Amino acid sequence: MELDETTMAVIGILAGILILSGWVPQIIKGYRTKKLDDVSQYLMILIFIGAALWLVYGMALDDVYIMGVNIAAMILTMTVLSMKLKYEKKPDYT
pLDDT tens digits for range 22-45: 999 999 999 999 999 889 999 999
Of 90 and 21, which is predicted with more confidence?
Answer: 21
Residue 92 has pLDDT above 90, yes or no: no
pLDDT tens digits for range 52-77: 999 999 999 999 999 999 999 999 99
CATH number of the domain at 5-87, please? 1.20.1280.290
Q: Which residues contact 12 (CB under 8 A, 6 or more apart)?
A: 63, 65, 66, 69
pLDDT of residue 84: 93
pTM: 0.85
